[in-house]
């Protein structure tokens, strides 16, 4: 593997700690120390800002603005939308004597920044040594309320260590945030009201005309108000006494609910009045209780085998960090939210959600929070009208789901991605299939899923073509998951996923007709779908071209085997990320693959392929893959584990689990790779416990890595909780809730009950 870890944070099972501040690593830290609660998110930037390198970002899920594309051909999007930094609620300034707190300029010692994943709080402390010899200890704590998702808290504690005297503190709110990439502040028409211990503000975005209210209760005694054009601060001078800590608390509400003007203002004022009645301590205790409950069902616990304590401690920390960040980003609070590839942790990827949601994130939710999985699919249902418009723009029928979106519209200005990648649409179909299979929520299929399937199948039918050479159907001029090859024909992944989608859509209609005739009629009326149409989808599926050789090797796309070879291991680490170091066209000319393509389909429809086919393709494609997409390593690791290649599986696993903590891709500074974080969870559950969820029964094939003594986790499944404890010689399964359940373990069928069932490890597998 060409990529290497950059270890910066100390290892602890529940905390991420940075001892000492390295200004060169400032942005990486801001990403790693991001907090979120699905509705709002904030990077780990310093409350007081200052001259340190920073991407100051507080974001609100669903808040974006728009820009036109200068020149657009038909089919290329005419305007894009992108997440913008919203109200800066951390805004703080502190002065002591004639110095202003700015870690880029002042002298300080004992800097510690710590994210505690058991409480969801971020703490930062250090001692400020002024030019005049005064020592002031500062501690900043913040958290975003996981239950009341419009709420956020900040507490600043000052302790004079060797003096008594005045300190000036300013605390405020601001809509001055500038989008770094676009160098624009997207907020206008601020309304502001402030008095001595509260500020309320509301502003509107420039083009999307979304309005946001932000209010803060700040517990100053005698503050002065200083107002700017788009900001307001309360300023107080506090007399510190040596050795006596003084704290100022700020309780914040951020409202974005679609309402505007006076209606929003009134809701905001109400929310502010409510938070004024909540104490910081009570809110912090409720936050800790939330996370405690979360970990009690979602934790993955790894015990090290003797002599492996250090490495396993890193892995344990890594997987908890992934799980923590994923739950912060999305937990089913709203079917109007999706999972941005970078969550709410930075401007990169514009806050957009990708096909990652259904192909990579959904399993985590299916087995830990199925309601959230349903909400993610409902997001696609609510945005079906936009997907239908997009298909029209591409001269197709049905619905083409966007490769990148926040609101349902395609927002990717690069035609080669937005027009050639069919995987968002087939991933939505796969997500519906997977969700219905795991939850048996047929009501969802009948009321929402089937309609999406009809429109996706229509899109595929209008996009597929009969090959002159193959005399079979295939997709021409596409870009598969491997984004290093574009405008290719018969991409195996696209053809296969298209085939499965068309067949599933036809089967879903059969099921509706038989089991839910009323829904079927309603669907026919709404979509005008006919039996004949479904028949056409079936016959296209039956006659879909899949470029598979006699020995099981699948050609990624027509002509792939002829491409010149690149030795991916010979690329120097200084050239990553490649998109920043190689010309755009240079990466397209060889057999170097960005991420699994053929292997992706072997992962998603795992049970449909023989071990021999998986092995042949893994051996061929693994050495050609550069893992330039963060989704990539975990999928390879899962397949490597299945094929018994445990060393490789473990190397890739480290990469997936600590991708951001160790900045493997050297771009964590831009934000966290939230969707790859979901794959880190899958890496353990699908990889080392060998879960497979695409067959007739759930299947486990545990393979405990040598350096682990035990692995424990739980899954929710159709009203049950399955507790799994893997050890060297055996795996113990037990239901801690729900009715007995038949599952496959290795090749046998086992009924799980509330009593322990112990299955000896299959040494051959």
Least distance CB 418 / ligand BGC (angstroms) = 12
Phi, psi for residue 466 in degrees, rounded to 5: -85, 125
Restricted to residues 653-682, the positions that interact with ligand BGC (CB under 6 A) are 675
Structure tokens at 195: 């008095």
Least distance CB 210 / ligand BGC (angstroms) = 24
Residues in the chain: 765
Least distance CB 274 / ligand BGC (angstroms) = 37
CA 574 to each of CA 31, 632, 659, 664, 666: distance values in angstroms, whole numbers, following the listed order: 21, 20, 17, 11, 9
Restricted to residues 691-720, the positions that interact with ligand BGC (CB under 6 A) are none
What Rg, from alpha-carbon coordinates, does the chain have? 27
CA 276 to each of CA 198, 272, 280, 533: distance values in angstroms, whole numbers, following the listed order: 9, 6, 10, 59
CA 263 to each of CA 59, 65, 75, 294: distance values in angstroms, whole numbers, following the listed order: 22, 22, 39, 35
Phi, psi for residue 495 in degrees, rounded to 5: -60, -45
Structure tokens at 201: 């503000």
Nearer to ligand BGC (CB atom), residue 380 or residue 744? 380
Nearer to ligand BGC (CB atom), residue 61 or residue 287? 61
Neighbouring C-beta atoms of residue 744, cutoff 10 Å? 18
Q: Which of 169, 288, 302, 134 is nearest to 239 (CA)?
A: 169
Neighbouring C-beta atoms of residue 278, cutoff 10 Å? 16
Cβ neighbours of residue 593 under 8 Å, at least 6 residues apart?
Answer: 482, 484, 485, 556, 621, 624, 625, 626
Cβ neighbours of residue 47 under 8 Å, at least 6 residues apart?
Answer: 90, 91, 92, 140, 142, 154, 156
Least distance CB 206 / ligand BGC (angstroms) = 27
Nearer to ligand BGC (CB atom), residue 355 or residue 653? 355
Q: Is there binding between residue 82 and ligand BGC (CB under 6 A)?
A: no
Q: Which of 386, 503, 373, 384 is nearest to 434 (CA)?
A: 373
Least distance CB 32 / ligand BGC (angstroms) = 18
Q: How far is it, in rounded angstroms, from Cα 498 to Cα 504?
A: 10
Q: How many residues bind ligand BGC (CB under 6 A)?
A: 11
What pairing do the DSSP bridges indicate for beta strands 699-700 and 741-745?
parallel
- Name beta bridge partners: 122: 115, 142
Nearer to ligand BGC (CB atom), residue 275 or residue 456? 456
Q: Is 670 a catalytic residue?
A: no
> In the bound complex, which residue of the shown chain has the CB atom lying closest to ligand BGC?
354
Cβ neighbours of residue 163 under 8 Å, at least 6 residues apart?
Answer: 134, 135, 240, 242
Least distance CB 177 / ligand BGC (angstroms) = 24
Least distance CB 144 / ligand BGC (angstroms) = 23
Q: Mask 327-356, x = binds ligand BGC (CB under 6 A)?
A: --------------x------------xxx
Q: Mask 613-652, x = binds ligand BGC (CB under 6 A)?
A: ----------------x-x---------------------
Nearer to ligand BGC (CB atom), residue 305 or residue 578? 578
Helix, strand, or coil here: 66? strand
Q: How far is it, in rounded angstroms, from Cα 390 to Cα 489?
A: 22
Q: Is 204 left (phi over 0), alpha (psi -120 to 50) or beta?
A: beta
Nearer to ligand BGC (CB atom), residue 47 or residue 358? 358
Residues 483, 555, 597, 723: which binds ligand BGC (CB under 6 A)?
483
Residues 481, 498, 671, 690: which binds ligand BGC (CB under 6 A)?
481
Least distance CB 551 / ligand BGC (angstroms) = 28
Nearer to ligand BGC (CB atom), residue 606 or residue 675? 675
User: DSSP secondary structure string, 450-514?
Assistant: HHHHHHHHHHHHHHEEE-TTT-SEEE-SB--S-TTS-SBSS-HHHHHHHHHHHHHHHHHHHHHHH
Least distance CB 337 / ligand BGC (angstroms) = 17
Least distance CB 17 / ligand BGC (angstroms) = 28
Nearer to ligand BGC (CB atom), residue 354 or residue 473? 354
Nearer to ligand BGC (CB atom), residue 356 or residue 375? 356
Least distance CB 560 / ligand BGC (angstroms) = 17
Residues 251, 594, 614, 703: which binds ligand BGC (CB under 6 A)?
594
Least distance CB 594 / ligand BGC (angstroms) = 6
Q: Is 410 left (phi over 0), alpha (psi -120 to 50) or beta?
A: beta
Residues 171, 325, 338, 595: which binds ligand BGC (CB under 6 A)?
595
> CB–CB of 547/475 below 8 Å?
no
Cβ neighbours of residue 424 under 8 Å, at least 6 residues apart?
Answer: 354, 355, 400, 401, 402, 403
Nearer to ligand BGC (CB atom), residue 92 or residue 595? 595
Q: How far is it, in rounded angstroms, from Cα 454 to Cα 399?
A: 9
Q: Mask 435-474, x = binds ligand BGC (CB under 6 A)?
A: ----------------------------------------
Q: Which of 445, 397, 465 is nearest to 425 (CA)?
A: 397
Catalytic choice (483, 628, 642, 648): 483
Least distance CB 423 / ligand BGC (angstroms) = 8
Nearer to ligand BGC (CB atom), residue 186 or residue 354? 354
Nearer to ligand BGC (CB atom), residue 210 or residue 629? 629
Q: How far is it, in rounded angstroms, from Cα 244 to Cα 264?
A: 41
Q: Mask 356-375, x = binds ligand BGC (CB under 6 A)?
A: x-------------------
Q: How far is it, in rounded angstroms, from Cα 640 to Cα 622?
A: 9
Q: How far is it, in rounded angstroms, from Cα 651 to Cα 170?
A: 48
Helix (H) or strand (E) holding 225: strand 224-227
Q: How far is it, in rounded angstroms, from Cα 194 to Cα 216?
A: 9
The position carrying tokens 């006076």 is 262
Nearer to ligand BGC (CB atom), residue 294 or residue 354? 354
User: Using CB under 6 A as the criterion, which residues of the chain lie in contact with ligand BGC when the complex forms?
Assistant: 341, 354-356, 481, 483, 594-595, 629, 631, 675
| Active-site residue set | 483
């Amino acid at each position: 593997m060409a990529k290497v870890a950059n270890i910066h944070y100390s290892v602890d099972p529940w905390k991420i700690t940075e001892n000492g501040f390295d200004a060169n690593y400032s942005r990486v830290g801001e990403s790693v120390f991001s907090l979120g609660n699905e509705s709002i998110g904030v990077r780990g930037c310093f409350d007081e800002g200052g001259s340190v390198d920073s991407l100051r970002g507080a974001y609100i899920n669903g808040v974006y603005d728009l820009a036109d594309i200068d020149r657009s051909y038909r089919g290329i999007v005419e305007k894009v939308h992108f997440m913008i930094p919203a109200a800066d609620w951390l805004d703080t300034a502190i002065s002591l004597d004639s110095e202003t707190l700015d870690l880029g300029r002042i002298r300080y010692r004992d800097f510690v920044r710590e994210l505690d994943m058991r409480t969801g709080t971020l703490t930062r402390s250090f001692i400020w040594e002024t030019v005049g010899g005064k020592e002031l200890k500062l501690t900043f704590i913040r958290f975003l309320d996981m239950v009341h998702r419009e709420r956020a808290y900040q507490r600043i504690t000052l302790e004079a260590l060797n003096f008594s005297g005045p300190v000036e503190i300013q605390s405020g709110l601001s809509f001055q945030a500038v989008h770094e990439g676009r160098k624009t502040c997207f907020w206008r028409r601020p309304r502001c009201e402030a008095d001595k211990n509260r500020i309320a503000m509301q502003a509107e975005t420039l083009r999307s005309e979304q309005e946001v209210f932000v209010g803060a209760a700040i517990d100053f005694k005698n503050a002065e108000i200083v107002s700017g054009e788009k900001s307001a601060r309360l300023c107080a001078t506090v007399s510190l006494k040596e050795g006596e800590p003084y704290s100022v608390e700020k309780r914040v509400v951020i409202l974005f609910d679609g309402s505007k003007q006076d209606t929003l203002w009134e809701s905001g004022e109400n929310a502010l009045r409510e938070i004024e009645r909540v104490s910081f301590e009570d809110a912090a205790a409720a936050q800790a209780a939330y996370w405690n409950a979360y970990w009690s069902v979602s934790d993955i616990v790894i015990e090290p085998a003797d002599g492996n304590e250090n490495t396993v401690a890193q892995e344990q920390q890594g997987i908890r960090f992934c799980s923590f960040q994923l739950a912060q980003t999305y937990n089913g609070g709203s079917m109007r939210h999706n999972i941005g590839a970078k969550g709410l942790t930075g401007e990169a990827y514009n806050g957009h959600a990708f096909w990652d949601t259904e192909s990579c994130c959904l399993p985590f939710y299916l087995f830990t929070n199925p309601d959230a999985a349903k909400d993610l699919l409902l997001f696609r249902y609510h945005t079906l009208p936009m997907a239908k418009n997009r298909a029209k723009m591409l001269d197709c029928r049905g619905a083409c789901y966007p490769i990148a979106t926040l609101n349902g519209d395609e927002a990717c200005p690069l035609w080669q991605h937005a027009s050639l990648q069919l995987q968002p649409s087939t991933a939505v179909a796969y997500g519906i299939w997977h969700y219905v299979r795991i939850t048996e929520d047929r009501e969802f299929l009948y009321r929402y899923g089937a309609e999406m399937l009809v429109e996706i199948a229509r899109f595929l039918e209008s996009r597929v073509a009969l090959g002159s050479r193959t005399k079979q159907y295939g997709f021409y001029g596409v870009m598969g998951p491997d984004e290093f090859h574009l405008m290719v024909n018969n991409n195996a992944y696209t053809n296969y996923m298209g085939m499965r989608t068309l067949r599933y859509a036809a089967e879903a209609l059969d099921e509706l007709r038989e089991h839910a005739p009323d829904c079927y009629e309603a669907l026919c009326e709404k979509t005008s779908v006919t039996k004949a149409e479904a028949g056409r989808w079936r016959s296209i599926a039956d006659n879909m071209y899949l470029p598979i050789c006699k020995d099981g090797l699948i050609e990624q796309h027509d002509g792939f085997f002829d491409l010149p070879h690149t030795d991916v291991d010979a690329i120097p680490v200084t050239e990553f990320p490649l998109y920043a170091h190689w010309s755009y066209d240079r990466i397209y000319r060889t057999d170097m693959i960005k991420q699994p393509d053929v292997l992706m389909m072997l992962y998603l429809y795992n049970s449909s392929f023989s071990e021999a086919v998986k092995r042949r393709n893994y051996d061929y494609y693994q050495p050609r893959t550069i893992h330039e997409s963060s989704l990539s390593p975990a999928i390879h690791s899962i397949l490597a584990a299945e094929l018994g290649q445990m060393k490789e599986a473990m190397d890739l696993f480290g990469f997936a689990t600590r991708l951001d903590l160790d900045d493997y891709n050297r771009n964590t500074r831009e934000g966290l790779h939230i969707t790859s974080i979901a794959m880190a969870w899958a890496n353990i559950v699908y990889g080392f416990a060998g879960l497979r969820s695409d067959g007739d029964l759930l299947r486990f094939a545990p393979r405990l890595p040598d350096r682990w003594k035990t692995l424990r986790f739980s899954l929710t499944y159709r009203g049950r909780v399955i507790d799994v404890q893997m050890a060297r010689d055996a795996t113990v399964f037990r239901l801690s809730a729900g009715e007995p359940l038949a599952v496959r373990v290795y090749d046998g069928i086992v009924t799980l009950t509330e009593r322990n069932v112990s299955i000896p490890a299959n040494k051959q597998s």
